[in-house]
């Protein structure tokens, strides 16, 4: 992406509404005031007031009840941009059925999510959680740990994030296969890409199963008791996709009953995860607070990406990262 976002004084200033989580919006969006007539909304009422006449809607807060409720006030919208890779929370019927294009933040978080996944794999293989526990207990406990070289990674969701995960895993000598909506040829990252309908055939062969898929009707509750039972008992499960892709109670049962060896979870069906949830107490689980892709500077990177697309929109060029609204992801995230 270009870092040059100079403002052309002769260019008409579009009216842009930003749906944020605070009345002033995040600090990073202040840069946008040089590029348009900016309105900031933070709830249904303020969104209803802001939308009339707005040509562009930038969504940084994904409370779809506010957006869906205020949608009739959107009388001039020509483009909706989601400042996230996932757009499942935006896919209400009126927006899906409209001819208004939706774009997302695909590409911003790929590398950092991939680093998170590789880090989780290494933590499992090197028993890092136990090392920390023994350190806190001041105990010297020697044991052998695993090598990840040659281990098999199945990435369920072979789009841009899944591909970056596969690239890093392959770089350290792991064998990576992918699951996509449709099967496709092997390439320099994936030794094979299988169709989602065939996932049950390939689950038993994986040492690590990584969920990197978007949340759609097809992937909601994709991983349930039957799928965990199909995995190898030594396998680890990693979810950096969306929480509702997993039936959480079934995952807890699989972990407690040692049907699988462990899980690393960044996303959950209920967020924040309640403090009394059984996942907190499992010693074969690594958890983080939906932050796998967030890095120092990510908010500015999102603004840069939006401004690049805004320049395209003003020139009349095709927008990048345009989402297939009926499938729920941009083409590169298939």
Any catalytic annotation for residue 217? no
Active site residue 271: yes
In the set 290, 299, 312, 327, the catalytic residue is 290
Active-site residue (options: 30, 234, 271, 326): 271
b/e burial code for range 15-53 (CB count within 10 A of at least 16 → b): bbbbbbeeeebbebbeebeebbebbbbbbbebbbebbee
- 225 backbone dihedrals φ, ψ, rounded to 5°: -55, -40
Where do we find the tokens 């909506």? 181
Q: Is 302 exposed, middle or buried (0-12, 13-18, 19+ CB in 10 A)?
A: buried
Closest to 213 in 3D by CA, of 101, 306, 88: 88
Is residue 138 part of the annotated active site? The answer reads no
Q: Which of 42, 152, 227, 242 is catalytic?
A: 242
- Give the three-class secondary structure for 68: helix
Contact, 228 vs 199, CB < 8 A? no
Beta strand residue intervals within 83-200, DSSP E: 102-103, 152-156, 175-180, 192-195
List beta partners, residue 40.
18
Q: Which residues pair with 285 in a beta bridge?
A: 263
Contact 71, 95 (CB under 8 A): yes
Q: Residue 102's beta-bridge partner residues?
A: 80
The catalytic site residues sit at: 242, 271, 290
């Amino acid at each position: 992406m270009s870092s040059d976002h100079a403002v052309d004084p002769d260019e008409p200033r579009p009216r842009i509404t930003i749906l944020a989580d605070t009345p002033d919006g995040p600090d990073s969006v202040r840069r946008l005031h040089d590029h348009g007539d900016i309105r900031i909304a933070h709830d249904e009422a303020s969104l209803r007031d802001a939308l009339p006449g707005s040509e562009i809607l930038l969504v940084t807060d994904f409370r779809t009840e506010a957006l869906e409720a205020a949608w009739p006030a959107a009388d001039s919208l020509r483009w909706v941009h989601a400042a996230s890779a996932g757009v499942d929370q935006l896919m209400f019927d009126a927006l899906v059925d409209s001819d208004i294009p939706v774009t997302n933040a695909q590409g911003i978080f790929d590398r950092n999510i991939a680093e998170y996944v590789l880090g989780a794999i290494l933590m499992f293989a090197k028993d890092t959680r136990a090392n920390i526990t023994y350190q806190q207990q001041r105990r010297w406990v020697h044991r052998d740990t695993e090598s990840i070289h040659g281990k098999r990674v199945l990435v369920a969701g072979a789009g841009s994030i899944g591909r970056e995960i596969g690239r890093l895993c392959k770089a350290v000598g792991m064998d990576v296969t992918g699951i996509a909506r449709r099967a496709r040829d092997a390439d320099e990252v994936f030794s094979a890409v299988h169709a989602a309908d065939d996932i049950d055939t390939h689950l038993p062969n994986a040492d690590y199963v990584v969920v990197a898929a978007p949340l759609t009707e097809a992937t909601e509750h994709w991983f349930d008791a039957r799928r965990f039972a199909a995995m190898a008992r030594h396998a680890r499960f990693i979810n950096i996709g969306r929480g509702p892709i997993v039936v959480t109670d079934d995952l807890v049962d699989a972990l407690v009953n040692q049907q699988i060896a462990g899980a690393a979870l960044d996303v959950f069906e209920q967020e924040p995860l309640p403090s009394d949830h059984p996942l907190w107490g499992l010693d074969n689980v690594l958890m983080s607070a939906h932050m796998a892709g967030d890095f120092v500077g990510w908010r500015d990177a999102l603004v840069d990406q939006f401004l690049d697309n805004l320049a395209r929109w003003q020139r009349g060029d095709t927008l990048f990262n345009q989402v297939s609204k009926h499938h729920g992801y941009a083409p590169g995230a298939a």
